[in-house]
Amino acid sequence: MSEAKDPHCLSDSEIDKLLSGAPWRRFVVMGDSHAEGLGDPVPGYRSLSWADRTAEALRRQQPDLAYLNLGQRNLSAARVRDTQLAPALDFDPDLAVLHCGGNDLLGHDFDAGVVAGTLEGMIVALRDMGADVVMAGLIDLTLAFPRLAVLHDRMMAFNEAAEAVAHRHGALFIDKWTHPAREQRDLFSRDMLHPSMRGHAVSATELIKVLSGRLRH
């Protein structure tokens, strides 16, 4: 099924051009339900997470790609670190994508600096073993769902802290905060917190653009 008609998604041919020569052979994904791949189906889109889509694209460049998705729902950043960092390091990745922190936003004691410190420890450990690391930022949900406006400042604080940590250690950051489709409700699931399958397709596109930028520099 092709999704090339969506202006916010890349076609397979466009993806292949952007990822031409991609060297990665061991791809690990860490995080919460966004990494695991939860999301409502959307007509016209495959029920495939952003992580699986990215692995599929990378495998067209490196057919022997090894792929491990450790994502698990309901985890805080600290729990991701405690349960996933060791197996991720054991996998010996050359590419790691980290998508967590959203559950921390919902806690009464949320502190962006504390969460960023947890992310930093994981990024440093992965970078120290030579992996390229990508940290995923959050999209602004509040335009599509005004009732979530209470989370706006927390989401912004998280993104700023996560981006600073990523850049400090040579990791890449996916900035989706002002994505032009963020007002479109079909980008999100009915629970308002997870991407739909269209949202996963868009997220895969944004990740592939960031990886392409790494290849060109």
Residues 6+ positions from 155 with CB-CB distance below 8 Å: 105, 138, 140, 141, 142, 177
Nearest alpha carbon to residue 44 among 197, 204, 151, 176: 197
Q: Quick: pLDDT tens for 22-75.
A: 999 999 999 999 999 999 999 999 999 999 999 999 999 999 999 999 999 999
> Is residue 2's pLDDT more than 60?
no
**In CATH, what number does 12-215 get?**
3.40.50.1110
Place of tokens 């993104």: 159
HSE value, Cβ hemisphere, 13 Å, CA-based, for 116:
20
In the chain, where are the structural domains located?
12-215
Q: CA-CA distance, 111 to 151, in Å (whole number)?
A: 13
Residue 112 CB-density burial (10 A; 0-12 exposed, 13-18 middle, 19+ buried): buried
State residue 133 phi and psi, 5-degree precision: -125, 135
Q: What's the confidence (pLDDT) of residue 217?
A: 76
Q: What's the confidence (pLDDT) of residue 1?
A: 43
Q: Quick: pLDDT tens for 63-108.
A: 999 999 999 999 999 999 999 999 999 999 999 999 999 999 988 8
Q: Quick: pLDDT tens for 120-172.
A: 999 999 999 999 999 999 999 999 999 999 999 999 999 999 999 999 999 99
Report the percent of the chain where pLDDT is more than 70: 98
**Tokens encoding 82:** 């405690």
